[in-house]
């Protein structure tokens, strides 16, 4: 009876090697689970992705606060005087249409200009297009900052040759056609300023110019969405095939030789390391694209105002057809903080997920 009691007594457990191994496994498993739950909550491709915490504004909050302060003093800012023969280095084109609720364009402009020194500001030509056919209906039309911050404010006038078509698109709900028209209007106007880039981050552009020695490139992307970066459900067979191939390759290398494994591992590309990388797919969206001046005429010849595509889809289609390379800055230099979309009516919350998580880790 005593032996039976000992074996069934609570609090007694086996100290056998199997028991220790199982306990160690459980301890390590729970430890790693806890670690990755904390470390990967902002990785949209991870099982541990947590939307309730992932979209926290970190660096964005700092830049928004700085932009708000800059905007408050905008009416006292003098637009930089430029000589008649002045040619800007950069043309920044911003299109805006009135929407319900918050208008983000003021903060967008302020965040681009806040913190620039006099030389940097003079190198920029800021082109603002109010896309409503009746510009006065846009809430920003009467705000003071549009008189001092942009170098030019573009509007549509009844004497414009395409005015009736633009108004038809606007009133008929043909938002995609209208958006493409607005986009190409800004590109043409920026091209006419003579600016070399539209717009740019000069350090990253220098890297692109060195690497793009062969073939044309259409843009440098300053913003991309992590969630769309290569992990698309329609291409799961490709991911599966590559996963099997890489697993087989690494297994063979490990079996063959330790030295061989180390050498081969160095050749695996790390496409998300900081710097400038080719990004010919899944960039999203049409904001924050840097176009070299030389490509604009060729691109505009291939645009189609009758298509029902979104602007970024049209750009990607042209680039694919022509074999033009697309580049991106990693991590991005811009963030999308709007809660509603300008595509269609844009009254849903889908735009909240247009986000880059690495941007929030600035400043580096």
Residues 6 or more apart whose Cβ sits within 8 Å of residue 135 = 141, 155, 156
The whole-number pLDDT of residue 229 equals: 56
User: How is the chain split into domains, by residue range?
Assistant: 53-228+272-361, 233-265
Measured from the Cβ of residue 25, the count of other Cβ atoms closer than 10 Å reads 10
CB 59 within 8 A of CB 68: no
Confidence (pLDDT) at 200: 46
- CA torsion 210-213-216-219 (nearest 10°) is -10
Contact 108, 144 (CB under 8 A): no
Kindly state the tokens that stand for 62: 């700092």
Distance CA 335, CA 166 (A): 30
Q: What's the pLDDT at 2?
A: 47
Tens-binned pLDDT, residue by residue, of the chain (364 aa): 445 444 444 455 556 777 788 788 888 888 888 887 777 777 777 778 888 788 888 888 999 999 999 999 988 887 777 777 888 988 999 999 998 877 889 999 999 999 888 888 988 999 999 999 999 999 999 999 999 999 999 999 999 999 999 999 999 989 899 999 999 999 999 999 998 876 646 777 878 877 876 678 999 998 888 766 545 555 556 656 766 777 677 767 766 644 444 444 333 344 467 888 888 887 778 888 999 999 999 999 999 888 778 899 999 999 999 999 999 988 888 888 765 555 554 444 556 678 888 888 887 4
Structure confidence at residue 351 (pLDDT): 62
Domain spanning 53-228+272-361, CATH class: alpha beta
């Amino acid at each position: 009876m005593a032996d039976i009691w000992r074996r069934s007594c609570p609090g007694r457990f086996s100290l056998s090697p199997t028991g220790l191994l199982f306990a160690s496994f459980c301890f390590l498993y729970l430890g790693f689970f806890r670690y990755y739950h904390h470390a990967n909550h902002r990785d949209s491709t991870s099982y541990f992705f947590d939307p309730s915490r992932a979209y926290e504004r970190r660096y964005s909050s700092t830049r928004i606060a700085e932009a708000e302060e800059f905007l408050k003093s905008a009416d006292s800012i003098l637009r930089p005087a430029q000589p008649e023969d002045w040619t800007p280095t950069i043309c920044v084109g911003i299109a805006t249409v009135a929407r319900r609720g918050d208008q983000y364009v003021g903060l967008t402009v302020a965040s681009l200009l806040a913190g620039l020194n006099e030389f940097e500001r003079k190198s920029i030509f800021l082109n603002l297009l109010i896309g409503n056919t009746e510009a006065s209906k846009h809430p920003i039309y009467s705000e003071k900052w549009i008189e001092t911050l942009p170098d030019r404010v573009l509007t549509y006038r009844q004497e414009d040759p395409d005015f009736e078509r633009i108004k038809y698109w606007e009133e008929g709900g043909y938002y995609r056609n209208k958006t493409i028209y607005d986009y190409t209007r800004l590109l043409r106007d920026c091209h006419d300023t003579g600016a070399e880039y539209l717009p740019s981050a000069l350090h990253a552009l220098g890297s692109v110019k060195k690497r793009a020695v062969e073939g044309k490139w259409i843009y440098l992307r300053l913003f991309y969405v992590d969630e769309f970066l290569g992990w698309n459900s329609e291409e799961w067979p490709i991911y599966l095939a590559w996963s099997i191939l890489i697993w087989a390759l690494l297994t063979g290398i490990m079996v063959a030789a330790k030295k061989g494994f180390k050498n081969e591992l160095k050749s695996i590309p790390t496409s998300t390391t900081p710097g400038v990388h080719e990004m010919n797919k899944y960039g999203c969206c049409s904001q924050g694209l840097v176009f070299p001046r030389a490509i604009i005429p060729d691109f505009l010849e291939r645009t189609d105002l009758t298509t029902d595509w979104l602007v970024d889809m049209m750009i990607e289609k042209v680039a694919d057809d022509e074999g033009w390379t697309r580049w991106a800055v990693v991590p991005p230099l811009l963030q999308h903080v709007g809660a509603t979309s300008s595509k269609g009516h844009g009254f849903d919350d889908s735009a909240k997920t247009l986000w880059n998580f690495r941007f929030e880790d600035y400043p580096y």
